[in-house]
Chains A and B, each alone.
Chain A
Amino acid sequence: NAGVMQNPRHLVRRRGQEARLRCSPMKGHSHVYWYRQLPEEGLKFMVYLQKENIIDESGMPKERFSAEFPKEGPSILRIQQVVRGDSAAYFCASSPPIGTGVEQYFGPGTRLTVT
């Protein structure tokens, strides 16, 4: 059973460009979460999605960031007009349907560098 997949693993963008990060959850998991880890810090929650629905986006910056989890395909975290402060590791996690477990399983992360 493949784990959570994220790509790309490393992404370099110049200031002002767009970054698209992809996440495929574990098989059978219908919930996806995005977290950001700044250097030397813990992970901070950004957004929680189910298929075609954003459930909780309380951790998302108000501008330039968006997330989706379409009916088909991976979840996408999109950052428009990137700035140097967006440089971080972005982790995706997935979990089984509610009632079958509360733990989240993490992907290997995408390390975004903005130059």
Chain B
Amino acid sequence: AQSVTQLDSHVSVSEGTPVLLRCNYSSSYSPSLFWYVQHPNKGLQLLLKYTSAATLVKGINGFEAEFKKSETSFHLTKPSAHMSDAAEYFCVVSGRRDTGRRALTFGSGTRLQVQP
């Protein structure tokens, strides 16, 4: 079985400062990992994905994440926060591909606030 733990339920940053949203995963196989963003009362948008290629993954809107197997982490970063980044962010792990199990397991979410 797989799981993800988002270490912070709320993160507050000032506009223009770096963003760090932390995620640790647990998996008995080589996982695929994702970050999704959800704006209030909206659906989920895929920010980026890791699928065993490059460990540093670049996504949309200036976000990136680094897969660190030794630390079982997949933290999301952005060099400079923008007001429009305020949203809920979910770290997600997929099921084991070779079994055909494709259900996604979501973390509990991190609410990012951006102060002017």
CA distance A109 to B45 in the complex (A): 12
Please pick, from B41, B46, B106, B107, the residue contacting A103 in the complex, using a CB distance under 8 A.
Answer: B46
- List 6 other contacts, CB 8 Å, given A43-B90, A103-B49, A104-B104: A41-B108, A58-B103, A103-B46, A104-B102, A106-B36, A106-B45
A33 touches B104 (CB 8 A): yes
- Is the contact region of chain A dominated by helix, strand, or loop, or is it mixed? strand
Residues of B within 8 A of A22 (CB): none
The CB with the most chain B CB atoms within 10 A, among A93, A102, A108, is that of: A102
Please pick, from A4, A42, A48, the residue contacting B109 in the complex, using a CB distance under 8 A.
Answer: A42
The CB with the most chain B CB atoms within 10 A, among A42, A45, A56, A104, is that of: A42
CA distance A33 to B90 in the complex (A): 17
A103-B49, A106-B44 known; A56 and B101 CB under 8 Å? yes
Interface residues, chain A, with chain B CB atoms under 8 Å away? 4, 31, 33, 35, 41-45, 48, 55-56, 58-59, 91, 93, 95, 98, 102-109, 111
B102 touches A33 (CB 8 A): yes
Question: Is B43 in contact with chain A by the CB < 8 A criterion?
Answer: yes
Please pick, from A95, A105, A106, A108, the residue contacting B102 in the complex, using a CB distance under 8 A.
Answer: A95
Interface range for B: 20 to 34
A106 touches B43 (CB 8 A): yes
Please pick, from B36, B49, B97, B104, the residue contacting A45 in the complex, using a CB distance under 8 A.
Answer: B104
Residue of A whose beta carbon sits closest to that of B102: A48
B94 touches A102 (CB 8 A): yes
Question: Is B100 in contact with chain A by the CB < 8 A criterion?
Answer: yes
A106-B43, A108-B42, A108-B43 known; A98 and B49 CB under 8 Å? no
B46 touches A43 (CB 8 A): no
Residue of A whose beta carbon sits closest to that of B91: A42
List 30 interface pairs A-B (beta carbons < 8 Å), by A numbering: A4-B43, A31-B102, A33-B102, A33-B103, A33-B104, A35-B106, A41-B109, A42-B108, A43-B90, A44-B106, A48-B102, A48-B103, A56-B101, A56-B102, A56-B103, A91-B43, A93-B104, A98-B102, A102-B49, A102-B51, A102-B94, A102-B97, A103-B34, A104-B102, A104-B104, A106-B36, A106-B43, A106-B44, A107-B43, A108-B42
